């Protein structure tokens, strides 16, 4: 039953599946044409056109849903506390390369993949929907013959109205981002200001009194398994004022999510990484303790670490300081022993992956986003200079607008315009700090203008893209494997 033929195209042999009296495969029309689902046998529930006993189907949402109904490993699942890795994919074509990197790099210790991951902000910029993101990842899972558990991350959910499309699509990991409710000024407020802000907190919603909460944290040394914490009034107030409303907002969104999930299991992450100042170890303890006291079942927590975690480049900062602080954060992690540490903007942080793995000891989640997109841009720079030149020049035009939601150090004046470079010099830009960030943060404008052309080009050069992703992500994964 698995002897498929696809005139005018090729079959992805890893995708061939036979179950019962029905076989399935993915094929692609020649010349970088569309991928198609091929079904031989029981094709009820699929839509397509018949050709000599094979139903040739578009990769539609309806056909994706039927595949998930028939083959359970195509449905994402909660992954729990094990080491995990989020593969962002802004074009919907990177999952085969992500799978290849896992197979190449992961030997001794399994790493649980999240193949479908996109934030509300990213979807708004790419014009994709949660369903499209999940389906694209699922087709990549089929193409590579991946049968192990995988997850789907509704990333940076800001508020309750963001939830329904992710729930409807079947996401299993929800990253609640209450950063709009973090008081960044609390980092430097004087004591009188902190006291006034604390009095103004909605204590009816907090469910206790200031005096009771003060006693909880400041009555004496908090002796953890590997760390002693002393809260004085100022340290306590700074944590309370900075993160109190964020904790309440997380509770509100989680309650709505519980209702919408209607008993289905999911992994919950709370993220405060997109804030102005680092999360101190006292603040980490406060956040985790207050969420757990409210029966929020955290699987992952993303503090704002010291140093700079910027898009598309390595860690910027004092690595010794980062390690010293990480050890303390990990002590709090092991004290509560119910969640893992999440490293956001985690792509390309090669200098600290080994440190993270050494101290987190298996309780880590690394989240990447646009670095897969940059690998597609790299292929274009090498093999389609005219397209890359247009994308580079558009990035220069759109940078000041598109950069506004990102913390980056990019100096666009350090990036040459396309007219200043020979074709042979173009790929080198993907190794330069400022050029990587320039191209990274303008992805929405580039894909809006050139997305179709870039997608067709990558489809025609998918082997190059897959190899690039495999090599790039193997460097990310090996320190954790």
314 as an active site residue: the answer is no
Helix pair angle (462-477, 371-383), 10° resolution: 140
As for how many domains the chain has, the answer is 2
pLDDT at 2: 61
Relative to beta strand 9-19, strand 22-29 is antiparallel
Q: What SS3 class is residue 7?
A: coil
Q: Do 136 and 273 fall into the same domain?
A: yes
User: Which region among 30-34, 55-59, 68-72, 376-380 has the lowest average model confidence (pLDDT)?
Assistant: 30-34
The answer to whether residue 391 is domain-embedded is: no
Q: Is 159 within 8 Å of 88 (Cβ atoms)?
A: no
Mean pLDDT of 47-58: 93
Which H or E element spans position 101?
A: helix 95-105
Indicate if the pLDDT at residue 58 is higher than 70.
yes
Task: Name the band, by pLDDT with cuts 50, 70 and 90, for residue 52.
Answer: confident
348 or 5, higher pLDDT: 348
Based on the fold, state whether residues 270 and 363 are members of the same structural domain: yes
Asked whether the predicted pLDDT for residue 133 surpasses 70, the reply is yes
By the 8 A CB rule, do 312 and 347 touch? Answer: yes
Active-site residue (options: 136, 269, 290, 402):
269
Q: What distance in Å separates the CA atoms of residue 275 and residue 298, rounded to the nearest whole number?
A: 20
Q: Write out pLDDT tens, residues 74-107.
A: 999 999 999 999 999 999 999 999 999 999 998 7
Which of 189, 193, 166, 194 shows the shortest CA–CA distance to 76?
A: 166
Q: Is 201 left (phi over 0), alpha (psi -120 to 50) or beta?
A: beta
Domain assignment of residue 392, yes or no:
no
Measured CA distances, 127 to 10, 135, 226, 238, 302 (Å): 29, 15, 47, 39, 27
- Provide the domain limits for residue 61: 9-70
Residue 157 shares a structural domain with residue 13: no
Dihedral of the alpha carbons of 252, 254, 259, 264, in degrees to the nearest 10: 180
* Mean pLDDT for the stretch of residues 207-230: 95
User: Are 346 and 257 contained in the same domain?
Assistant: yes
**Average pLDDT score over residue span 245-265:** 98
Considering the domain boundaries, does residue 24 fall inside one?
yes
411-461 tens-digit pLDDT? 999 999 999 999 999 999 999 999 999 999 999 999 999 999 999 999 999
- In this structure, is residue 429 part of a structural domain? no
Instruction: Grade residue 202 by pLDDT with cuts at 50, 70 and 90.
Output: very high
Indicate whether 171 and 46 sit together in one domain. no
Assigned domain for 399 exists:
no
pLDDT at 142 over 50: yes
Distance separating alpha carbons of residues 174 and 155, to the nearest angstrom: 6
Residue 203 three-state SS: helix
Query: Rounded to whole angstroms, how far apart are CA atoms 362 and 456?
Result: 39
- Would you say 322 and 307 are in contact if contact means Cβ atoms under 8 Å apart? yes
At residue 148 the predicted structure's pLDDT band, cuts being 50, 70 and 90, is: very high
Same domain? For 111 and 248 the reply is yes
Instruction: Supply the pLDDT for residue 1.
Output: 44
146 and 25 housed in the same domain: no
Q: Where a domain ends, among 339, 370, 401?
A: 370
Q: How far apart are CA 348 and CA 366, in angstroms?
A: 11
Residue 145 predicted with pLDDT over 90: yes
Question: What Rg value do the Cα atoms of the chain yield, rounded?
Answer: 24
Local structure of 40: helix, strand or coil = strand
Dist. CA 55–CA 47, nearest whole Å? 8
The CA distance from 472 to 98, in Å, is 9
Residues 157 and 36 placed together within one structural domain of the fold: no
Measure Cα distances from 355 to 3, 121, 299, 349 in Å: 48, 30, 21, 11
Residues 59 and 158 in one domain: no
| Percent of the chain whose predicted confidence (pLDDT) is above 70 | 100
Res. 257: pLDDT tops 50: yes
Task: Provide the 3-class DSSP secondary structure of residue 429.
Answer: helix
Residues 377 and 390: beta-carbon distance below 8 Å: no
Q: Is 393 a catalytic residue?
A: no
CATH at 290: 3.20.20.70
State whether 167 and 64 are in the same domain: no
Question: Cβ(161)–Cβ(34) under 8 Å?
Answer: no
**Domain closes at, from 370, 395, 420:** 370
How far from the centroid of its chain's Cα atoms is residue 307's Cα? 20
259 and 164 fall within a common domain: yes
Torsion, CA 470, CA 475, CA 477, CA 481, rounded to 10: 120
> Do residue 134 and residue 256 come from a single domain?
yes
Annotated active-site residue in 89, 135, 143, 155: 155
Average pLDDT over residues 225-239: 96
């Amino acid at each position: 039953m698995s002897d498929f033929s696809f005139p005018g195209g090729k079959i992805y042999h890893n995708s061939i599946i036979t179950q019962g009296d029905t076989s399935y495969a993915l094929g692609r029309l020649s010349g970088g044409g569309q991928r198609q689902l091929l079904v031989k046998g029981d094709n009820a529930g699929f839509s397509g056109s018949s050709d000599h006993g094979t139903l040739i189907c578009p990769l539609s949402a309806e056909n994706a849903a039927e595949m998930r109904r028939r083959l359970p490993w195509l449905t994402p699942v909660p992954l729990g506390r094990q080491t995990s890795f989020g593969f962002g994919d802004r074009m919907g074509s990177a999952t085969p390369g992500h799978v290849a990197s896992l197979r190449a790099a992961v030997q001794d210790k399994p790493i649980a993949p999240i193949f479908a991951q996109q934030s509300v902000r990213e979807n708004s910029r790419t014009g994709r929907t949660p369903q499209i993101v999940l389906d694209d990842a699922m087709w990549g899972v089929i193409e590579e013959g991946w049968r192990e558990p995988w997850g789907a991350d509704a990333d940076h959910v800001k508020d309750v109205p963001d939830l329904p499309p992710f729930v409807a699509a079947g996401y299993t990991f929800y990253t609640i981002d209450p950063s709009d409710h973090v008081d960044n000024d609390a980092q430097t407020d004087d004591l009188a200001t902190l006291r006034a802000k604390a009095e103004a907190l909605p204590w009816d919603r907090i469910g206790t009194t200031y005096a009771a909460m003060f006693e909880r944290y400041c009555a004496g040394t908090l002796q953890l398994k590997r760390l002693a914490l002393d809260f004085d009034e100022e340290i306590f107030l700074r944590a309370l004022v900075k993160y109190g409303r964020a904790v309440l907002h997380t509770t509100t969104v989680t309650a709505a999510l519980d209702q919408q999930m209607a008993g289905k299991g999911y992994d919950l992450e709370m993220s405060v990484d997109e804030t102005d100042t680092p999360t101190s170890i006292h603040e980490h303890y406060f956040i985790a303790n207050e969420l757990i006291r409210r029966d929020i079942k955290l699987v992952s927590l993303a503090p704002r670490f010291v140093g700079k975690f910027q898009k598309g480049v390595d860690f910027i900062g004092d690595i010794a300081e980062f390690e010293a602080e990480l050890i303390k954060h990990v002590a709090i992690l092991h004290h509560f022993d119910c969640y893992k540490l999440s490293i956001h903007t985690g792509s390309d942080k090669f200098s600290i992956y080994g440190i993270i793995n050494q101290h987190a000891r298996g309780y880590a989640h690394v989240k990447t986003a646009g670095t897969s997109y940059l690998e597609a841009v790299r292929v274009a720079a090498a093999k389609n200079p005219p397209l890359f030149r247009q994308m580079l020049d558009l990035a220069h035009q759109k940078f000041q607008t598109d950069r506004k939601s990102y913390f980056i150090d990019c100096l666009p004046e350090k990036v040459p315009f396309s007219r200043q470079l020979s074709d042979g010099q173009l790929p080198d830009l993907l190794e330069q700090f400022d050029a990587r960030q320039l191209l990274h943060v303008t992805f929405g404008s580039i894909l809006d203008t050139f997305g179709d052309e870039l997608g067709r080009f990558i489809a025609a050069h998918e082997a190059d893209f897959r190899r690039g992703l495999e090599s790039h992500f193997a460097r990310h994964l090996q320190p954790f494997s």
